[in-house]
Amino acid sequence: MAKRKTNKEKVIDLLNEARASELTAILQYMSQHYELEDADFGKLAAPLKAIAIQEMQHAEMFAERILFLGGTPTSIPDGKTVKGEEIVDLLATDMGLESGAIEMYNHHATACAELGDLVSKDLFETILAQEEDHWSQFDNVHGHIEKLGAVYLATLAGGDAEAGAAAQ
């Protein structure tokens, strides 16, 4: 007969699921950062790099909590990196990643509360707020491209990622 998981083990599983999602986002956003920088869209590349760095911080926060609870943080992303997309499709991919994280973290915060781990619940809620901000950033640019097309993209061409980062 299979051993039942303790509440702590269940929370560790939730944290590892979230960490795997963050690892996928990191790889996706950094890959896009490199592609956009190479295509001379530094003003789009810079925010992706900044968001990837925030996702790295999230992955670290999940890992630290997992370790505190006695678990082993996963190092395996939960998805594949999509490459070579048109910019509007790239942003839709990113919005999908963020939407998935938002849904997951809402669920996991509730689950952690039910399992009696309010620290992990608070961690999910803190990171959730940042994921909502990421989604909003991607949606904003996506909306401008949908409305203005090449005219808007032309305003983003040229310059390096550092110049784009300074505008953040």
Task: Give the ranges where the chain is alpha helix by DSSP (H).
Answer: 7-38, 42-68, 87-114, 118-148, 150-156, 161-166
> Is residue 1 one of the residues assigned to a domain?
no
| Least-confidence region, from 36-40, 95-99, 152-156 | 152-156
Domain count for the chain = 1
Residue 42 inside a domain? The answer is: yes
Task: Check: CB of residue 29 under 8 Å from CB of residue 46.
Answer: no
Render pLDDT for 102-136 as a digit per residue (tens, 0 to 9). Answer: 999 999 999 999 999 999 999 999 999 999 999 99
Spatial separation of the C-alpha atoms in residues 135 and 121, rounded to whole Å: 21
The model's pTM is: 0.90
Question: Residue 136 is part of which domain span?
Answer: 7-166
CA angle at residue 82 from 23 to 160, to 5 degrees? 85
2 within some domain: no
